[in-house]
Structure 1
């Protein structure tokens, strides 16, 4: 995990064969220079098939994760993000830990102007859990569309 205050700018995954990291802590997130530095715009990543493990039962949990951010100096490289998100497949963590942990790591390493994450978790035991986190209030001039994930309604 990158612990410096500035993210690395030499991508380790782009154009390379990369294996799925064994754990989120082992995943390396790559960042590249923002091609539109100085502009205020939104980047959205949606991962509709996110999986992790329940830390109590070991059973799989499934979520639709949506990450929105307004970049500053860098943007996250999508292949490294895909590998990072995939590394949760064998990670035992509660919904809140996974969702907030993903958002916090991206925010701390990339240092965007603003970031939010929505974790729309599918029901286990009959109860869906949605988890939301954002770094701060969004920039005033940022176009911020709805995340587009309907609340869980079951058969109703």
Structure 2
């Protein structure tokens, strides 16, 4: 590939500040050099943190994001900084999970995307949030997300 698809990246390869809010976070993308092939990309964030909008107490989740890219790939450092920006953000589990998925879909225009938000218990009840853009593409290996249901001490 003669064109440098990485030349416009601003955060990779240097120090970058954690955005104060998800809205401030700069997601970056690069052209998909394998756009002629359908394949799955998985990002796992086992230590995702946000804040309860009512109490300000931290909430914790294990996020799994799968997507079949189209013309764009998300740059992983920008995704990490975006996800980290939620640690100062107050929102319910459902809002955080779906907001992340919708922003990625709008930014990347993937062929398919799903997110699993496996939230640790709040008030004794774990809340899991799942969303996908449509049916899984045929012929693409997309493994199970591999996160067992919450069992506590059981």
Normalising by the smaller structure, the TM-score range is: over 0.9
Q: Secondary structure at the match of 2:23?
A: helix
Q: What is the 5 A alignment of 1:3-152?
A: 10-152=8-150
* Separation in 1, partners of 2:36, 2:130: 27
TM (norm. structure 1) is 0.93
* Separation in 1, partners of 2:27, 2:14: 14
Please identify runs of 4+ aligned residues in structure 1 that moved more than 4 A: none
Report the alpha carbon displacement of residue 35 of structure 1 after superposing the two structures with TM: 2.1
Report the alpha carbon displacement of residue 146 of structure 1 after superposing the two structures with TM: 0.4
Deviations 1:59-93 (A, max 9, x none): 00000000000001010000000000000000000
Residue 6 of structure 1 is matched in structure 2 by none
Q: Which runs of 5+ in 1 are unaligned?
A: 1-8
Q: Secondary structure at the match of 1:12?
A: coil
Q: Secondary structure at the match of 1:109?
A: helix
* Separation in 1, partners of 2:35, 2:102: 22
TM (norm. structure 2) is 0.94
Q: Secondary structure at the match of 1:25?
A: coil
Q: Which runs of 5+ in 2 are unaligned?
A: 1-6
Cα RMSD (Å):
0.9
Q: Secondary structure at the match of 2:83?
A: helix
* Separation in 2, partners of 1:100, 1:23: 16
* Separation in 2, partners of 1:16, 1:107: 27
* Separation in 1, partners of 2:88, 2:66: 25
